[in-house]
Amino acid sequence: MENSSSINNTGVSGYPSTRKGWVLRGLRDGFPICMGYFAVAFALGIEARRIGLSAFQSFLMSTGMVASAGEFAALMLIESHAGVFEMITTCIIVNLRYFLMSCSLSQKLKSTLPSIHRFGVAYCITDEIFGLSSAVPGYLEPFYSYAITFISVAGWSGGTVMGVLVGNILPAAAVNALSVSLYGMFLAIIIPPAKQNRFIGGLVAVSMAVSWIFSILPLTKGISSGFKVIILTILLAGAAAALKPIEDNNDSEQED
Amino acid sequence: MTENIYISLLIMCLTVYMIRLLPLLFLRKPITNRFIRSFLYYVPYVTLAVMTFPAIVTVTDNVWSGAAALVVGLIVAWVNGDLFVVAISCCATVFLTGFFF
């Protein structure tokens, strides 16, 4: 309920006015992300163990990268003994959506915000934390993102380590069930605004449809999922921006 | 060839961090171009929608479990947008339908 009301533009009432308030709010909003991350990272840990990473190495990877598709790609690169150039280019392509998200989030930061917080918030850009951070009205209080990230990364790194250590004793049915948790969270981020705004609803439906078509057409189905996300984001968000530009107001409510 | 896992991890972690850092560091002023602002506004919706479908259907052992999780997720997100509730509903759907498919 809190998340659905935080995404639409019903006003700033109900939002914390102090830094401490934002931290508490972030810890609360981050809790479901922590649970979801734990589940997904568990699957990641099982994969890390399969290719021979230790629990400590997996912990470093998850804490340093905090990226789901990005880390699966990283494991694939380590397994295939990829060279430095291939590592860097693959990481850029698979994680390029964070570049777009960072561009988007840059507009939520006060222009006077000290650089140290820009370095800090940069670490906090994942699909879910970005979703929550960009959904607050007005400027983003960095400590809100830090609090969400603190609890989320605890779940993410903890889940990875647990996957490495005890992944082989969890029943396959449970691992299978956990694999959809992140997608459920994505739905929880995009569906409430789609319900409020018919254009966003249409955009979400078209995005899913085109994504599906891309995955079955012979010409496009070989494209990696990270690259597909970039191509479709540029095409569809570009088309949406051309069709229905957002209101041209100069206050800080531009992000929703 | 990078045989050392620690060096590989360091290279990849730094690359991913730079991708996230550079726009925040260099885009300090509000973007005034209406098209770019609109584009950035729509980015999260397109990105998350593209990542969710069809992946949610194909990630599970059985396509019908994934499809059921998608339908349940859509309904629950529509009625109650709470992240945790939606995520758990999807997981429970896959777990329970796993007995039938």
- Closest chain A residue to B62, measured at CA: A176
For residue A134, give its domain range. 2-255
Cα distance from B46 to chain A (closest Cα, Å)? 6
The helix, strand and coil proportions of chain A, stated in percent and rounded to the nearest 5, come to: 75, 0, 25
* Number of domains comprising chain A: 1
Tokens, residue A198 = 């018919």
Taking CB atoms and an 8 Å cutoff, what residues of chain A touch B83?
3, 29, 32-33, 36, 128, 185, 188-189
Euclidean distance between CA atoms B8 and B35, whole angstroms:
39
- Closest chain A residue to B6, measured at CA: A57
* Residues B8 and A78: beta-carbon distance below 8 Å: yes
Q: What is the pLDDT of residues A20-52, one digit of tens each?
A: 889 998 998 888 788 878 877 887 888 788 888
Q: A180 and B56: CB-CB below 8 Å?
A: yes
Return the ∠ at Cα A24 (arms to A22 and A27), rounded to 5°.
105
* Number of domains comprising chain B: 1
Q: What is the pLDDT of residues A196-227, one digit of tens each?
A: 999 999 999 999 999 999 989 988 887 776 67
Identify which of A35, A69, A191 has the shortest CB distance to residue B81.
A191
Cα distance from A84 to chain B (closest Cα, Å)? 7
Going by pLDDT thresholds of 50, 70 and 90, the confidence category of residue A248 is low
Q: Which amino acid is at A251?
A: D
Q: What is the pLDDT of residues B21-52, one digit of tens each?
A: 999 998 887 778 889 888 888 887 888 898 88
DSSP string of A73-99, one letter each residue: HHHHHHHTT--HHHHHHHHHHHTHHHH
Cα distance from A244 to chain B (closest Cα, Å)? 8
The percent of residues in chain B predicted with pLDDT above 70, rounded, is 97
Query: Given a cut of 50, is residue A11 above it in pLDDT?
Result: no
Going by pLDDT thresholds of 50, 70 and 90, the confidence category of residue B73 is very high
Helices (H) and strands (E) in chain A, counts: 14, 0
Taking CB atoms and an 8 Å cutoff, what residues of chain B touch A105?
23-24
**E strand segments, A26-166:** none
What pTM was estimated for this model as a whole? 0.71
Interface of B with A in 11-70 (CB under 8 A): 11-13, 15-17, 19-25, 27-31, 34-56, 58-61, 65-66, 69-70
For residue B91, give its domain range. 5-97
The percent of residues in chain A predicted with pLDDT above 70, rounded, is 90
Q: B23 and A211: CB-CB below 8 Å?
A: no
B79–chain A Cβ distance below 8 A for any pair: no
Q: A101 and B56: CB-CB below 8 Å?
A: no
Euclidean distance between CA atoms A135 and A8, whole angstroms:
8
